[in-house]
Amino acid sequence: MPALEILLIALGLSMDAFAVAIASGATMKRLHLPDALKMGLFFGGFQALMPVLGWGAGLSMRSFISGWDHWIAFGLLLGVGGKMLYEAFQMKEEEECGGPKTCPFDTGTLTVLAIATSIDALAVGLTFSLLALSIIGPVLVIGLVTFFMSVAGVKIGSAGGHFFEHKMEAAGGIILIVIGLKILLGHLGLF
């Protein structure tokens, strides 16, 4: 597969992670570089791991994964997005990530978000298996592109979050729900 195609696949796969990173960065009043790097590592790592798992699963698991991946992604994104929306309207002005609300940079929440945004990469791994393509090069590109897109997204979201405070978290929740709906409707052939 040509390098340009692999790069385009990586960019496409990283878009959900980029959007979630923007929404997550918006929840922070003061963003620290370690938070952005942590999100980049989680998102890039899971985005690289999922194609390997898809590759390993091969053809025998294809029908099971393609039948449920959209429901899993939708459920995870709906849950996290709904919680972000709820918390956006429940927060007091002085609260910020790290207080009583859920922080998207918390390891548990970050793991759920990383899984939710990387489920499509599982299908890409299956596709690479079907096409008898090497998995090593694409996995490295997918992981690195997602890492950099996620770090950039956190920084962009953080800059916007200073101006819009809790509205950005509500927008982030809506973005997650819309991404979940897009995944679900796309797999159901309605979008």
The DSSP string of 158-181 is: HHHHHHHTHHHHHHHHHHHHHHHH
The full length of the chain comes to: 191
Tell me the two tokens of residue 109. Answer: 């929440």
Tell me the two tokens of residue 188. Answer: 């159901």
Give me the pLDDT at residue 95, please. 44
Question: Is residue 3 included in any domain, yes or no?
Answer: no
129 lies in which domain range? 34-75+102-164
Give me the pLDDT at residue 52, please. 93
Is residue 150 classed exposed, middle or buried when 0-12, 13-18 and 19+ CB atoms within 10 A define those classes?
Answer: buried
Question: Nearest Cα to 70, choosing from 186, 190, 184, 185?
Answer: 184
Question: Is residue 63 included in any domain, yes or no?
Answer: yes
**Residue range 58-74: average pLDDT?**
67
Question: Is residue 6 included in any domain, yes or no?
Answer: no
Q: Lowest-pLDDT range, 57-61, 79-83, 118-122? A: 57-61
**Residue range 92-103: average pLDDT?**
53
**Residue range 152-179: average pLDDT?**
73
Contact (CB, 8 A) for 85 and 100: no
Give me the pLDDT at residue 49, please. 97
Higher pLDDT, 117 or 38: 38
| Number of domains the chain contains | 1
Question: Is residue 42 included in any domain, yes or no?
Answer: yes
- Cα separation, 81 vs 101, in Å, equals 13
Which contiguous run of DSSP H or E holds residue 155? helix 136-164
Give me the pLDDT at residue 45, please. 97
- Cα separation, 44 vs 153, in Å, equals 13
**pLDDT at residue 37 greater than cutoff 90:** yes
**pLDDT at residue 102 greater than cutoff 70:** no
- Share above pLDDT 90 across residues of the chain, in percent, rounded to a whole number: 20
Contact (CB, 8 A) for 187 and 91: no
- Cα separation, 186 vs 191, in Å, equals 5
**Residue range 109-136: average pLDDT?**
83
Give me the pLDDT at residue 94, please. 42
Kindly indicate the confidence band of residue 97, based on its pLDDT and cuts at 50, 70 and 90.
Answer: low
Question: Is residue 171 included in any domain, yes or no?
Answer: no
Which range in 95-104, 110-119, 136-145, 174-183 is most confidently predicted, on average pLDDT? 136-145
Please list the alpha-helical segments (H only) found in 58-134.
62-90, 107-130
Question: Is residue 82 included in any domain, yes or no?
Answer: no
Q: What's the chain's average pLDDT?
A: 79
**pLDDT at residue 123 greater than cutoff 90:** no
Higher pLDDT, 173 or 155: 155
**Residue range 128-149: average pLDDT?**
89
Counts of helices then strands in the chain (DSSP H, E): 6, 0
Question: Is residue 24 included in any domain, yes or no?
Answer: no
